[in-house]
Structure 1
């Protein structure tokens, strides 16, 4: 867990450094605000894309799990009915 904490710290410091660099850049305030707005939109779009991908994967996996469960349930029902028929056959022979 130390490695992940270190990586998170480095990424946080890099983001803070980038933000400070933009804020103190020798550019007009309107240009700086536009850059911040554009970058924020890029990050937002990227995050939305990744989130949609995760949701899609979870949904797909969930459907696969449900289908597999239905298939296994049907197999158990068939096995039970076969066993029940076998028991009836054994009973009728005695």
Structure 2
């Protein structure tokens, strides 16, 4: 997004500079030229505010989407780990039962 915002700022700056130079070299009276400059400055200010709002909304949307994706992935990982832990516990319980049986047999023979 850095390149995109730099491009937008460059375009806006070029537009403002071009419009200002065009107005300054126009054959109008000073008061009319100043009014045109003020109007163009207000227009560019409004465009910049709109662009900034749009950029903020897109960044917010992207962050929310990535957060949701991360939350889903984390939930999947926790669920997978839980199932694997259950498998490990089951295997250990079976091994323990086998060892108890072997120990019981060893105690009988001793």
Could you say which TM-score interval applies, normalised by the shorter chain? 0.7 to 0.9
Q: Which runs of 5+ in 2 are unaligned?
A: 1-9, 96-110
TM-score (normalised: structure 2): 0.67
Question: Hey, what's the Cα distance between the residues in 2 that align with 1:15 and 1:55?
Answer: 22
Q: Aligned-pair distance for 1:51?
A: 1.1
4+ aligned runs moved over 6 Å, structure 1: none
Structure 1 pair 16–77 and aligned structure 2 pair: CA distance change class (3 A):
closer
| Residue aligning to 1:81 | 82
Question: Hey, what's the Cα distance between the residues in 1 that align with 2:18 and 2:90?
Answer: 80
Q: Aligned-pair distance for 1:29?
A: 0.9
Question: What number of residue pairs does the alignment pair up?
Answer: 84
Question: Hey, what's the Cα distance between the residues in 2 that align with 1:52 and 1:17?
Answer: 24
Tell me the alpha carbon deviations over residues 20-68 of structure 1, each in whole angstroms, 9 at most, x when there is no partner: 3322322111111110000111111111111111110001100111111
Q: Which runs of 5+ in 1 are unaligned?
A: 1-7
SS in 2 for 1:36: helix
1:33-72 correspondence to structure 2 within 5 Å: 33-72=34-73
TM-score (normalised: structure 1): 0.77
Structure 1 pair 50–82 and aligned structure 2 pair: CA distance change class (3 A):
same
Question: Hey, what's the Cα distance between the residues in 2 that align with 1:88 and 1:17?
Answer: 73
Comparing 70-79 and 22-31, the one that deviates more? 22-31
Q: Which has the higher contact order (CA 8 A, sep 6+)?
A: 2
